[in-house]
Every structure is written in C-alpha cells, then in structure tokens.
Structure 1
Amino acid sequence: MTKDTAPALPPASPDDNAPLPHESGGNGLLWVLLVVAVAFAFLRPRAPMDWLQLVDWQTVGALAGLLAITQGVERSGMLQSAAQRLLARTTNLRQLALLLTATAAVLSALVTNDVSLFLLVPLTRVLATQAHLPLARLVVLEALAVNAGSALTPIGNPQNLYLWHRTGESFGGFMAMMAPTVLVMLLWLVVAVWLLGPRTPIALKPAAEPTAVRPQLLALSGVLFVGFVVALDRHWLLAGLAVVFGAFLLFQRRVLRDVDWALLAIIALMFVDLRQLAELPAVAATVGQWPIAEGWRAYFAAIVTSQFISNVPATILLDRYVHDLPALAAGVSVGGFGCVLGSLANLIALRLAKVPHGLREFHRISIPFLIVCAASAVLLRLG
C-alpha cells in the first residue's frame, strides 16, 4: 500500500494507513434529518439556492477545518502518549472524570464549547483504548460541562455572542448576569460527576504496541489550528479551509479520508430542517400566542423551544417575543441539556466519541440533569 506522507514528514509506520481504532456511532440521525428534508421539499418547495441559504456555511466550514485538524492530531500519536501519562497520574475514575469535566468547563468559557470538545473528546476516546473506562458516560459529562461552562462568557457559544450584542452589556456585565445560572449548572455537574464516577480504581488494558509519536505532524496540526482560529476570527473562512485542506493533501491525505463527513452532513441538514420548522406559520402563530414576554415564562419557553430546534435557533426565534433577555439567556443555556438537539455541542460530542448506544446514554443522564437544573435555576431567579 502506498504511503500518504510527503518527504517533509517522517516515514509512516506500517500501520499508519490503518484506521484509528474506534467504534462507529451510527448514522441514524442523518437518515432521519434527510427524510424530514425530503418531506419539507414536497410540502414547502423552494429554489435550490434558497435551500443552500438555509445552511450556516460559516459553522459547517469551521467544523470541517477543526475535524481535519483533530484527525491530524490523532494520527500524530500525541493523544496516545498524553493518555498514557494521564492514566499514570490518575488513581480512580472519579478523579479522572472530575479532571476531564473541569477542563472542559474552563476551556469552553475561553475557546467556545465546540473547540473544547474537539480537544478533549478524542483524548477521552484514546484513554478508553488504554483502560477500562465508561467512554459514553465520560463524553456525556464533558458535553454537559461545555454547555455549562460556555454559558458564562459572551464568547463561549453562539447564542451568548448574539445576546451579548442585544443586551448592550459589557463583557464583565454579561458574565455577572450569567454567573448565578452557571453556578447552579456547575454545582449539579459536580454532583453528577460524583454520582456517575465512583472511586473505583482504573483498570488498565493489556499493553498494546506503543504508538510512535510523529512530532512533525503534531507541529503541522498545531500551526494549522492556530492559523485556522485566527482565520475564523478575521472571517477568512475560505482561505483558512484552503490552507488546512491543502496542507493535509500535500503531507497526509489519510487525515482527510478519516474526517467524519457524515457529521458535517448532519449539521447542514439540521440547519435545513430546523430553520424551516421555525419558519412554519403554525409555529410562529403558536409562539406569538404564548405569554412569554418576561420572567419564568420566558425562561421555560426558551428551555422547551431549545429541545425541539436547538438553543441557537431558539434564541433567534424567541428574541422577537421575549423582552426579558436575562431570562432568555438563562433559558437557552439550560435548554442545551435534555434532548440531544438542545445544543449542537451534544451532537459533536457523540459523533467524536463514536460509541454505540451513545444517544441512549446521553438521554439517560442529560434529561434528569435538565430537570434539576431548570428547577434550581428558576427558584434562584424567583428568589
């Protein structure tokens, strides 16, 4: 088999072209979204260009670049090496779960929830190849952590960025507004980790063939990551994608072949389906009749709406009806829990984890978590 590496990188090991070990997460959601899109095509026909305009290509393009870079980091062997060192310094499952979720929460407030998952979920998956760990449970806790942590800052997630400009608050003022809700979510996150991560010793799996670390590929991926984030910040998406994909085409084509293209299709179809759902006259009429201008009604309306159309579209849809922006911000933040559609981060976490029955495990944990967080946060607001 021919190697995909160019002379600028060290020669690939014999198993370099083999797929990284993982289990498929399945594409059931992809087919459901595709069926819904076809149904909308018959019920509400529109021109092809109108369909394309439903997709937020900035988000899809950003995810494509980050997925490619993540694959480059995985194939560099750095995650395997880091996982070995982490396991050597961690004594039990609870300690590991607390470390991973705390890191996810802090990172998400600084570099957004999606980027945090791209950094941590692949590491967690590699940890599970080296030790007997409940991978699905750990990834679900990380998804809860990034949804909670990202709610604190204006730059943590897209809905906060939108609401920050709408409120006119300063950076610190917005954080102060969100802090009570975030503290409630983080408190329950610690409780969840404590209950779901018992202090059982971590059992290592039989030592496998050591993975060679390829520092040049790691360095290339690191440089591309920094450059791509800068390109996204400057709104140079196409240029950033051209550099990322061009570099991997030259030096490591296997990276691009291993990108989870199905995840990108799922995200694009989510925009197509959910935006058309929000545009339905019946939906607009129903929402317009709700007494949700302010207070706890606005808060619960944001939570419920997020369960069906995700929290970012819910924010945009409800903004015209809700005048209490702090209640709306708290509601869409808590609304990221519960149903997997509540937040785009949930889908990204499960797809990156690539575990069977991930949806079932997610809802087993996330729905009770939504209930206790929603009730606690509303009591805090009423108090």
Structure 2
Amino acid sequence: MMKLYARVKHLIKTETVLLISAFVAIVTMFFVKPSLHYISYLDLRVLSLLFCLMAVVAGLNDTGIFIRVSEKLLKKVQNIRSLSFVFISLSFFSSMLITNDVALITFVPFAIMILRMTGQEKYFIPVIVLDTIAANLGSMLTPIGNPQNLYLYNTYYVSMIDFLQITLPYTILSFLLLSITIILMKKETLQLTIINKSEEKKTDNKKRYMLTMYCILFLVCLTCVIRILDYRLTLLIVFVVILIFDRKILRKVDYSLLLTFVCFFIFVGNIGNIPVIRNYLGNLLVSRELTVALIASQIISNVPTAVLLSAFTDNYKALILGTDIGGLGTLVASLASLISYKFYCKTEHAKPGKYLGVFSLYNLVFLVVLCLFYMLTNT
C-alpha cells in the first residue's frame, strides 16, 4: 500500500500537467460524446515534429557534444561573473535549437558541478535562476525553441521570416537584460580546472558516427519545420534510422509531453464544440490576447495556454509573445522551470524557499520590462 502511495505521489509530482490535461479532456467528453471525429482534433504535424525533434536532440545530447562545447568555453573562465555568463549564454543560445527543457537538463547539472568544484555553492541560486530565465527567453526566438512556438507556428502557418520578426526584438532585449544582470554580479576570482574526460571520446568512432547521423537528422527536421519536407516522410526517416542505429534513444523521448498535447487537443476540440464556452472565450480574447495569454500561462503554463487560446483568436503575434513572455513569472508558467528547481532541490543544503523567492523576483523584473517594451512598441 505504501509503495502504491509513493508511486502515485511521484506521478503527481512529475506529471502534474499531464494529469490535469487528461482530467479536463475527460470532463469535456461528458459534453461532447467521444467519436472518430476526435481524430480531427489532433495536429499530427505538430505531434510528429515534436517526437522527431525530441528524439534527435536526445541523440545529440547522448553523444556528449553539448558538454564538450561547454568545456572548451569554460577553459578561459577566471571569475564568477564570466562563469555565469558562459552558462547563461549556453542555455540562451542552445535553447533556440535544442529547446529550453533540453538546454536546462544539459547545462544546469553541469553548472552545479562546476560551482561545487570551485567552492562557489553560494552562487547556486542566482546562476540556476538566471540559467532558467535564459533558456526560457532564448527559446522564444525560433519555432523549434519550445513546444508552444512549434504549435503556434504550425497552427497559424506563419512564415519563418514573420516569426523571427515577431520574436527577434524581444530576444535581443532579453539577452541585454541578462547581460546587465550578470555585470551587476561580483567579479569574484575562482580557480577552475576542467578534467576533460570527453577528450578520450574523440577517438571513439561510434560517437563520431552517431554525431554525424544526428546532425543530418536534425537538418531533416529543419527542412520539415520550414515546410520543405512532408512531416510524414520526416517521421518515417527519423524513426527508422534511430530504430536501426540507436534504438535506446527512443526510450528517452518525452512521451508524456506528447500525450499532454493529445489531451489538450481533445480538450480544446471539445470546448470549441460547446457554444456557450466558445462564445465566452471568443469575446474575452478580443483585444486582450496578450494579457489573457500572460495570465493563463501563470496558472496552467504556456504550452496548454497556446493550445487552448489558439482556437479562439487569429491574433497569432499576441499569442506567440503572450505565451513566450508568459513563461516568466510563476514556477509553472514554463514547465522547463520545474526542471531547474528539481535539480537545485537535490543539492546539499538546498533552500527551496529562498530559491522560489529569488526566482519570483528575477522573473517578475524580466516580465515587467518585456511587457513594458511590448506596450511601447505596440501603441
């Protein structure tokens, strides 16, 4: 009985959004009878691309390429300020291509290890918090930076140029804000010696082959993102190649995220078939798209907010910015933020309360500045 309780408790902690999405989807089924029509709710292109990107990035991560790149950058680090800048830059720029959650899964544990090696555990909280903000804001630039961008990019059939025109000014401002924040940190000298175990892997031919394979597969995914290659062909190529050459990677795909999207697709599809709710949300969003997206993201996170609100507005610019900027704020506004929080809580002498306080303060400042920028540039 205790084991069952522990498993349920763990499931609730780790898959909160999935459980919520499943619950709301089931509730709507009482109002819209389940049928084969549900299949039309699913955006198969988004689901296929998500699967492909997650599998390919997991494969790239498995080759150790991200750690090797960061090790090379860290060789010239001499103080805590430059160390912070390296990690925050890694998360910010890598998240544009490998998504915010993968960037944090890769670099937050590495940052913790380096800070511990140099005796700078006191910087755990500010570095991890800024790392998280960097990943969430850097990922806003591209359609593949985070799940909600990929979904909105496909749902509204936005061109790559239009998408970048929307997100680039906010991405540049975000990096400037991060840089200013780091400059305000103490320039405390530290001794950093990287034991580069990855050097041994350079002679590993299999690793080189795997890296080449996954780079090619990533390019295949990009051709699908920019709508050159059909998503069904992309899915077939990625799945078959990985199945043949590196099938263990298929176990590392975040299937709970895919299932969460399926549940929200059903939820949104059913909501769209309930006239009272459809009309209410449609009226609520008129001229308030960004505000509603920001507020909703704080409560149910930005991915489900994007799926839900997209069914009731054509203002994709406000929705893209609302869900991207809305990733700032509460710990659940962007689910990627929970990844960093969990890593921090596992460190020795962790202070979750202090972490949440610093996290909330930094996020609020960045959120306010970006919202003010939106107001100034859209009046």
User: Given the two structures, how large is their TM-score scaled by the length of structure 2?
Assistant: 0.67
Q: Which residue of 2 aligns with 1:218?
A: 207
**Equivalents in 2 of 1:198, 1:50: separation in Å?**
56
Matched, 1:64 2:55: yes
Any conservation in 1 of the 2:293–2:309 contact (CA below 8 Å)?
Answer: yes
Aligned partner of residue 319 in structure 1, secondary structure? helix
Shift of 1:337: 1.7
Q: Which residue of 1 aligns with 2:13?
A: 29
Cα separation, partners in 2 of 1:237 and 1:367, compared to 1, 3 Å:
farther
Q: Which residue of 1 aligns with 2:261?
A: 271
Shift of 1:99: 2.1
Write out per-residue CA displacement over residues 241-264 of structure 1, whole angstroms, 9 at most, x where no aligned residue.
332343236xxxxx659x656xx2
Written as runs of structure 1 = structure 2, the 5 A alignment for 1:205-354 is: 213-215=200-202, 216=204, 217-232=206-221, 233=224, 234=229, 235=231, 236-248=234-246, 260=252, 264-275=254-265, 278=268, 279-280=270-271, 284=278, 287-290=281-284, 292-294=285-287, 297-322=288-313, 324-343=315-334, 345-346=336-337
Write out per-residue CA displacement over residues 43-80 of structure 1, whole angstroms, 9 at most, x where no aligned residue.
44758996996993541443134224312327xxx83x
Matched, 1:101 2:71: no
**Equivalents in 2 of 1:94, 1:135: separation in Å?**
13
Cα separation, partners in 2 of 1:162 and 1:36, compared to 1, 3 Å:
closer
Cα separation, partners in 2 of 1:371 and 1:170, compared to 1, 3 Å:
same
Matched, 1:188 2:172: no
Cα separation, partners in 2 of 1:174 and 1:63, compared to 1, 3 Å:
closer
**Equivalents in 2 of 1:351, 1:245: separation in Å?**
31
Shift of 1:166: 7.6
Any conservation in 2 of the 1:152–1:182 contact (CA below 8 Å)?
Answer: yes
Shift of 1:135: 5.4
Any conservation in 1 of the 2:22–2:260 contact (CA below 8 Å)?
Answer: no
Gaps of 5+ in 1: 1-25, 250-254
Matched, 1:201 2:189: yes
**Equivalents in 1 of 2:214, 2:342: separation in Å?**
20
**Equivalents in 2 of 1:330, 1:198: separation in Å?**
33
Aligned partner of residue 342 in structure 1, secondary structure? coil
Shift of 1:38: 6.7
- The one of 345, 351, 364 aligned to 1:371: 364
Identity across the alignment (%): 21
**Equivalents in 2 of 1:41, 1:311: separation in Å?**
17
Which structure has the highest helix share of the two?
2
Shift of 1:42: 6.4
Q: Which residue of 1 aligns with 2:3?
A: none
Any conservation in 2 of the 1:188–1:373 contact (CA below 8 Å)?
Answer: yes
**CA RMSD of superposed structures (Å):** 4.5
Cα separation, partners in 2 of 1:48 and 1:332, compared to 1, 3 Å:
same
Q: Which residue of 1 aligns with 2:79?
A: 92
Any conservation in 2 of the 1:113–1:345 contact (CA below 8 Å)?
Answer: yes
Cα separation, partners in 2 of 1:168 and 1:35, compared to 1, 3 Å:
closer
Which is further off, 121-130 or 179-188?
A: 121-130
**Equivalents in 1 of 2:198, 2:86: separation in Å?**
24
User: Given the two structures, how large is their TM-score scaled by the length of structure 1?
Assistant: 0.67
Any conservation in 1 of the 2:48–2:235 contact (CA below 8 Å)?
Answer: no
**Equivalents in 1 of 2:163, 2:19: separation in Å?**
40
Which is further off, 326-335 or 173-182?
A: 173-182
Amino acid at match of 1:287: L
Shift of 1:91: 1.0
Cα separation, partners in 2 of 1:266 and 1:308, compared to 1, 3 Å:
farther
Q: Which residue of 2 aligns with 1:145?
A: 134
